[in-house]
Chains A and B, each alone.
Chain A
Amino acid sequence: MRADVVVVGAGPAALATAVRLAEAGRQVRVIARGNGFTHWGAGAVDALGRLGGERVERPLEAVGRLPEDHPYRLAGEAALRDGLDWFARFAAAAGLAHAGDPDRNRDQVTALGVLRPTCLLPEPAAGPLSGRVAVVNFEGFRDFSPALCAAGLRGAGVDAVPASVPLPPWDHARYFTAVELARAIDDDDFRRRLAPGLARAAAGADVVVVPAVLGVRGGHAPWADLQRLVGTPLVEAATAPPSIPGLRLFAAYRRRLDALGVGWQFGFPAVGVERDGDRVTAVRSEGASREVVTHCQELVLATGGVAGHGIEANRDGTLAEVVAGLPVEGFPDRTAFLGERFLGEHPLGAAGVRVDAELRPMNASGSPVHANVRCVGGLLAGHDPTVEGSREGVALATATRTAELLAPTPTPAT
């Protein structure tokens, strides 16, 4: 195998980097172990939700208050703004329009009724919770409790009451998950049979909150159609994984990558690299029957931090970057990995590879380890995407910066 650029990973940073590089004219190949934080996230675009525990209202403005080694400071505020703008255009073109403004955070409703700060929201999740809100579940779907969500919303000052609607008879296995329910709702006829019950449950309400399961293959169209049939604004609440909005986005990225001719090797992790001097010349990955070697001029690692499997946390407190063995600062012992409080902060969540201003991994003395390796997204040191609420923003900002750095050199006019 051979490619100009190999991107390792399939999370928000890998997908955005691969698309942007391919759009810029590079020949790209993606190698991924499996799904990433599109599937495990909240289904929104977080830029900077919290700083020092306090809610951030203006994420771009707050970037200047971050430490100098934060990925936003390295990639630059302009890369964040450009990344968010690019994403909004990309998503809209893919039928997944997002609402929001890079200069102002907004609320995302969650299944617990807690309102979380985020930056861009898919339209089905973006409607304001004004007036009387009915929180409605589909009977038999166990990953959403309208009572819990409504109680949480009331705690946040929203006038919310719980309700539930029966699902029309449908062909599902002995039980069903969010994905199966979302696929059922993709079906036009199913939605027509579902709508009257939902309309009854919505009677008297100004807004209806439902779990984020309103179709998966059809993008936002099933949501828009059901909303029209019901006649009341429908707002999708974020649930625990898998994220259906994340699945919609992942599918959109896949379609775009296919259209751009990007090769894709999914389900086989990269396990090592080959080197020539300070350059990486190839990536080794598992294959169905034997190891696969993919030669490349540039390598982008978007494998995530410890949560994403890009870094292994060892029993002795050391950390290891899993593909190229890049330097990662470890801990004196494993008890330092995590904090006293589960809902507090954990040093391991912010562990990562330190990079220079061109996103190249650095050694302890601060010089690049490889001339042609870049790191993006959750793999980067200096930020905790969960605590800050910055996962998608860091992915997009560093993907944008990488696309600038690796854009093809213009051929000199002859």
Chain B
Amino acid sequence: MTPLLETDVVVAGGGVTGVAVLRDLALRGVNAVLVERFDLGTGTSGRWHGLLHSGARYAVRDQESARECIEENTVLRRIAPHTVEDVGGLFVLLPGDDEAYAGKFVEGCQASGIPTEELSAAEARRREPLLAPDVKLAFAVPDGGIDSWALLRSMAADAEARGSRVLVRHPVVGVERDGDRITAVRVHDQVAGEDRLIGCQWVVNAAGAWAGEIGRMAGVPIRMIAGKGVMVVMASRYVRGVVNACRKPADGDIIVPQHQVAILGTTSVQVDSPDDIAVPPADVDRMIDMCAQMVPSIASGRVLRAFAGSRPLYQPESEDGGGGDTREVSRTFTVLDHAGRDGLGNMLSIVGGKLTTCRQMAEALVDRLAERMGVTEPCRTATEVLPGADHGPHRLAAPLAGVERDGAYGELICECELVTRGQVRAAIADGLTELEDLRRKLRLGYGPCQAAFCAWRAAGMLSEGSGGDHLGGLERFLEERWRGQRATIWGDQARQALLNHAIYRGIFDLRGAGRPDEAAAAGLPRAEPVGGG
């Protein structure tokens, strides 16, 4: 086996936590390499509802998490404004909801440092016209939306610019130990098809819901609980800001507007494996029916798709295990130093937590690691703004304003997501060769028409660059878009699906024959950008 490279720290896991750790290390001048089994954000970081927490969801039951959230909410708005939709949020009280809970909610927010503003029913409906007419009152909180893909890209670009390395498609397959120390991490280079060693002084396990698996390879027990959450993507936004039910957290109590869509969330069910991301149709129905209590027009709305993610819940060994509803497990995070805990001298794990607190999690872990390494540089991630931050806060109307300014209507390749020919051309010039890559970079094909028109337009542009026919890539892209949709297709979306079938199979006579689905063959998961699904 050939050594791949040598570094001070190997970070395992390419979600927001791992990438935040990598950036924190880079800002302190520590040489590090991040390894990820698939692509950045293919795990929980790309499979969630996109809520920038104010912390109010935890204000009654988990005030430690609530305080972490409001602190980081402020920090992220400062360092990564371009990833944030500053839309605010409401907690709405409906008939049948416990008014005593509303009292506890306000007290909890006050105790956690979360500003709230009580709104009359009329004022709440003025701010959110589609709210149920029978809403009793509402509380405004500083919730927002955050695009975790943009955040990941910015943090990774910043770390790489400072000398860190990111290796995607390099799953960890084992470690080399010498007594109580790990000397190297063994990864599988999926492109070359062989194992490689990365020699290192330290290992950071930031594998989130999969942290237990890294622990097993290193010989240390970490008890993770896979808490599956199902989310439903609606074809339009419905709400101006985030809408939450003002009650004990339950299924279908939150609506998050993201880009052109709204995401309904979520269930919370303990499952055996974090790779269990199946979407039961009954869960989709429940999300819609529950969220329609808050915003009735959702009941007759058009569903784009549904997806599931796995929360990285950590159950300390001292506490009793589980049972069904994983909402009772704390959303705070824990740094595990395996030296004292397990007699493994040079590995730390970061477990639990949530996207909103990813930077704080990284800070806590790297503080501990720096102390062990003898690095004295302080953490600077809360003040150093990320690349792209000069664009200011993300606004829904910005892409349309850009198209207006440039008179680029005729240049739209994807009308649903306002992706222009210039953007596609630039992405191709950057080296993207697959429609799937264009989708993740540009949101091409995310909208209500589900790539009916943009997929073959974009395939044409790829063809102009390469001279190839790209029919195999087009077929793979269409099949990839199809996966996981079947639980959400009825009504208008059924008509759309059959129209798309009439275009691609009927008019263009694509049948997928003789063009193997390489992504499926390689066992790669489908990545779900926020708001995408």
Question: Which residues on A are within 8 Å of B, measured CB to CB?
Answer: 37, 40-42, 49, 53, 110-117, 140, 142-145, 147-148, 151-152, 154-155, 174-176, 238-241, 305-307, 309, 312-315, 333-335, 337-338, 341-344, 346, 348-349, 385-387, 389, 391
Contact A41 B497 (CB under 8 A): no
In the complex formed, the residue of A with least CB distance to B509 is: A116
Contact A147 B507 (CB under 8 A): no
- Interface residues contributed by chain B, number (CB under 8 Å): 54
Contact A114 B509 (CB under 8 A): yes
Chain B residues within 8 Å of A238, by CB: 507-508
Q: Is the interface of B mostly helix, strand, loop or mixed?
A: helix
Contact B409 A174 (CB under 8 A): yes
Please judge, given known A-B contacts A42-B507, A175-B410, whether A148 and B482 are in contact too, CB under 8 Å: no
Complex-state Cα separation, A344 to B482, whole angstroms: 11
Chain A residues within 8 Å of B463, by CB: 145, 147-148, 151
Contact A151 B507 (CB under 8 A): no
Chain B residues within 8 Å of A348, by CB: 494, 497-498
Question: Which residues on B are within 8 Å of A, measured CB to CB?
Answer: 281, 285, 407, 409-413, 421, 452-453, 456-457, 459-461, 463-464, 467-471, 474-475, 478-479, 481-482, 485-487, 489-491, 494-495, 497-513
Chain A residues within 8 Å of B491, by CB: 312-315
Chain A residues within 8 Å of B509, by CB: 49, 110, 114-117
Chain B residues within 8 Å of A315, by CB: 285, 490-491
**23 pairs, CB–CB < 8 Å, chain A vs chain B:** A40-B499, A111-B508, A112-B469, A140-B410, A142-B410, A142-B457, A145-B463, A147-B464, A148-B459, A152-B469, A174-B410, A306-B495, A315-B285, A315-B490, A333-B281, A342-B479, A343-B512, A344-B511, A348-B497, A385-B506, A386-B505, A387-B505, A389-B506
Complex-state Cα separation, A138 to B1, whole angstroms: 55
Contact A386 B502 (CB under 8 A): yes
Taking the closest CB of chain A, its distance from the CB of B468, in whole angstroms, is 6
Contact A42 B471 (CB under 8 A): no
Contact B507 A145 (CB under 8 A): no
Chain B residues within 8 Å of A391, by CB: 506
Complex-state Cα separation, A238 to B504, whole angstroms: 12
Chain B residues within 8 Å of A385, by CB: 502, 506
Please judge, given known A-B contacts A315-B285, A334-B489, whether A148 and B510 are in contact too, CB under 8 Å: no
Chain B residues within 8 Å of A116, by CB: 507-509
Contact A307 B495 (CB under 8 A): yes
Please judge, given known A-B contacts A112-B456, A145-B460, whether A346 and B498 are in contact too, CB under 8 Å: yes
Given contacts A306-B494, A313-B494, 12 further A-B contacts (CB under 8 A): A110-B507, A147-B467, A155-B471, A175-B412, A313-B490, A334-B281, A335-B281, A335-B487, A337-B489, A342-B479, A342-B481, A343-B504
Query: Which of B281, B457, B502 is within 8 Å of A41, CB to CB?
Result: B502
Query: Which of B468, B503, B512 is within 8 Å of A240, CB to CB?
Result: B503
Taking the closest CB of chain A, its distance from the CB of B93, in whole angstroms, is 28
Complex-state Cα separation, A386 to B508, whole angstroms: 11
In the complex formed, the residue of B with least CB distance to A387 is: B505
Complex-state Cα separation, A385 to B501, whole angstroms: 11
Complex-state Cα separation, A155 to B495, whole angstroms: 32
Chain A residues within 8 Å of B464, by CB: 145, 147-148
Complex-state Cα separation, A116 to B507, whole angstroms: 8
Complex-state Cα separation, A305 to B487, whole angstroms: 21
Complex-state Cα separation, A349 to B499, whole angstroms: 10
Query: Which of B470, B482, B486 is within 8 Å of A335, CB to CB?
Result: B486
Of the listed residues A113, A147, A154, the one surrounded by the most CB atoms of chain B closer than 10 A to its CB is A147
